[in-house]
Structure 1
Amino acid sequence: MIRFSEYFNSWLYEKDGYYTNYKNIGKEGDFFTSVSVSSFFGGAIAKKIVLAIENGFLNKNSTILEIGAEKGYLLADIIQFIYTLKPELLQTLNFAILEKYESLRDIQKKYLFDSFGNAIKFRHFSTLEDIKLDSAFVISNELFDSFACDLVFTKDNILNQAFVQNHQIEFLPCKNENILKHCKKYGIKKGEISLSYLEFVTKLCKNIKSFEFVAFDYGEKSIRDDFSIRIYKEHRVYPFFEENLDLKELYKKSDITYDVHFDYLIDCFKENKIEDIELKTQLKALIDFGILDLLEILKLKVDERIYQKELQKVKILLQPSQLAERFKCLSIRK
């Protein structure tokens, strides 16, 4: 019998885990992301990067680092829009991806080289410990919802913790002091908790002297006090505790995820003496970044048919009924 966090980690990251090899995202895959919907998602981030350099927060020799890059589409979109907005920056900026799996590094490296050749300076990092940077803009999309989590459930005033044996879930009285302390601090009686956020944030803050970190993820500022954990397979969503769900059949063949608890994530940065923190909906963040300005630029350069096609894609990013409210953007400056 193992902790649920070990089971979760094995599902996604151990041998033959779901994320150990490249998966199609979008229509041909198991789920959509903002990156797969529109290149203007990366374009808005590129506009924010350019502004951060023009305002003097980032220097022109900074590294643009993506964590959790899949094939490299988001970083490529960012590079393309930087070229559109301020092409001279491609001569000075450095680009990097943090990726621990060699097979995915090969795919990312090939995609970026096929897209830009030698026009950019690019490198990989395999671990957070490898990163030693003076100035960086760090971006992640749907990263924290893939950190291994534990499941807790309170019954008769006793906090129970999930364990797994033969793909069967069993809740037993929690004896883990760290989990008990965390649940008491945030008033958690039921749901998912990921204690590994703090280690990640601490390493990030230690290894980069000055950075802006922008993370997009789905979740809520405060705890829901309910289970949000779910499985995505061929664009179907399966609540994890759905009756008759065959976990053995879905194990490592589907995506498993949960809502991020942003209050805890924010506290992880505060523990590292960082106070310049903003949490917004994806809608507000992308508008603040300048995505509508990019659409106006496009409108002036292409015919109406192409503009309307791109506009409809961007609407999916901005409509409350789609991705705009469910997804949050956490912006951190050190």
Structure 2
Amino acid sequence: MRFSAYMNEWLYGEGGYYKKFKAIGKSGDFYTAVSTSRFFGASIANYFYTLLKEGKADRNGWLIEVGAHQGYLICDMIQWLYTCDPTLVKTLHFGIVERQPEVQKAQLAYVKERFGDDIQITHFNDISEVKAGYAFVVANEIFDAFPCELLKDEKIAVVQQDEILWEDAPEEMLAWAKKHHLTQGEIAVGYEAFAQAMADGIAHCDFVSFDYGEKYVRNDFSIRVYRSHETFPLFDEALTLSESYKKDDITYDVNFGHVSEAFVKAGFEELVYETQARALVRFGIIDILERFAKQTTQARYMSEADKIKTLIAPTMMGDRFKMIHFGK
């Protein structure tokens, strides 16, 4: 089978890696910005609040997270919006796009733990189910979890009996690769359909997404497996596909040029593309930290400051992760 189908089955098939709730953080296979600090979500919510104040967003619209894991991010955002304006949680609608039933249950349990019955979450199995006049849609590390094809020397990867083999690539894929000056690397599958579904269902939309990658083609393979905070390149001799299949996370660097192309084609406008560090500072993360400092102990302030350093330091998450904002 083609590698994209194999990867899709690995992550989302029966018994797949994301089929059930996975721990993120110290006890899991990897960290995310969401698991690092609640101020990550607070800063994005602060940006959303700025759009609301400026009349660029609708206070009667939707706040939707795509791929919310346990629900930390959307809950952190709701908490900050309540701090800014308590009436917003009465007018806004809240949703999560999540197709795994077990993960939906974990998310609802966490929302109830944070807010009791005061906040109601609507689940959508797919972004195509969302129908809204306005929505602020947020996602963290979703584009690296789309299946991809692997291209090398005009051949694509196929998997037979847990072994990667190469066969001639179809002409359509070679034409796409030539257009993007790609000779070797990953070609994501599904960006176009995802962008079009969002465009079809949401009349006016702000979509903010964070992920790791660049806007240019590297012409090298970044695809890798994460296992208990260790990284194994897919073609590493130490990695056995049959042992990792569905047990470990598999991912690759995002080509933001491809993401942008898909969304612009669907009718969106790319508003901002910048490093995570620049985005979070612009969203107000430093101001939020200083407000926190005035109502907490020095020890707690220093602890949160260290977490924020992880999010924005160039040598940590700050430069490697990017933020892209599309508007429609």
Structure 2 unaligned segments of length 5 or more: list them. none
How far off is 1:293 after superposition? 0.7
Matched residue type, 2:225? I
What secondary structure does 1:200 align onto? Answer: helix
Given that residues 145 and 217 in structure 1 are in contact (C-alpha distance below 8 angstroms), is that contact kept between their aligned partners in structure 2?
yes
Report the Cα offset of residue 22 of structure 1: 0.4
- Is it true that 1:291 corresponds to 2:290 in the alignment? no
Report the AA paired with residue 264 of structure 1. Answer: H
After TM superposition, the runs of 4+ consecutive aligned structure 1 residues lying more than 6 A away are none
Tell me the amino acid that sits aligned with residue 310 of structure 2.
I
**Percent identity among equivalent residues?**
41
2:106 corresponding residue in structure 1 = 107
Contact 2:260/2:270 (8 A) holds in 1: no
Q: How far apart, in 1, do the equivalents of 2:52 and 2:120 lie?
A: 18
Quote the offset at 1:119 in angstroms. 1.6
TM-fit CA distance, 1:118? 2.2
TM-score, normalising length: structure 2: 0.98
Deviation, structure 1 residue 90? 1.0
Q: Separation in 2 of the partners of 1:307 and 1:289?
A: 19
Map residues 308-323 of structure 1 onto 2, 5 A cutoff. Answer: 308-323=302-317
**DSSP 3-state at the match of 1:8:** helix
In 1, distance between residues paired with 2:175 and 2:115?
Answer: 49
**2 CA distance for matches of 1:277 and 1:233?**
35
Query: Equivalent of 1:188, from 182, 190, 197?
Result: 182
Q: 1:184 offset after TM fit, Å?
A: 1.2
**Given that residues 4 and 189 in structure 2 are in contact (C-alpha distance below 8 angstroms), is that contact kept between their aligned partners in structure 1?**
no
2:13 match: 14
What is the CA distance between 1:276 and its match in structure 2?
Answer: 3.9
CA distance in 2, matches of 1:302, 1:274: 42
Measure, in 2, the Cα distance between the counterparts of 1:264 and 1:276.
Answer: 12
Who is 2:222 aligned against?
228
Matched letter for residue 289 of structure 1: F
1:72 aligns with 2:51: no
Structure 1 range deviating more: 228-237 or 165-174: 165-174
CA contact (8 A) 1:5 1:149 kept: yes
Q: Helix, strand or coil for the counterpart of 2:157?
A: strand
1:218/1:326 contact within 8 Å kept: yes
RMSD: 1.0
Distance 1:116 1:248, change over 3 A: same
Aligned partners of 1:62 and 1:261: how far apart in 2?
Answer: 30
Match of residue 166 from structure 2: 171
Report the equivalent of 1:142.
Answer: 141
Between stretches 240-249 and 23-32, larger displacement belongs to: 240-249
Residues 44 and 290 in structure 1, CA contact (< 8 A), matched pair in contact too: yes
Task: Provide TM-score, normalisation by structure 1.
Answer: 0.96
Distance in 2, Cα, partners of 1:177 & 1:109: 45
Q: Deviations over 1:42-90 (max 9, x none)?
A: 0101101111100111111111100001111111111111122222211
Deviation at 1:102, TM superposition (A): 1.1
SS at match of 2:165: strand
Distance 1:100 1:43 in 2: 25
The whole-number CA distance in structure 1 between the counterparts of 2:25 and 2:252 is 19
Gaps of 5+ in 1: none
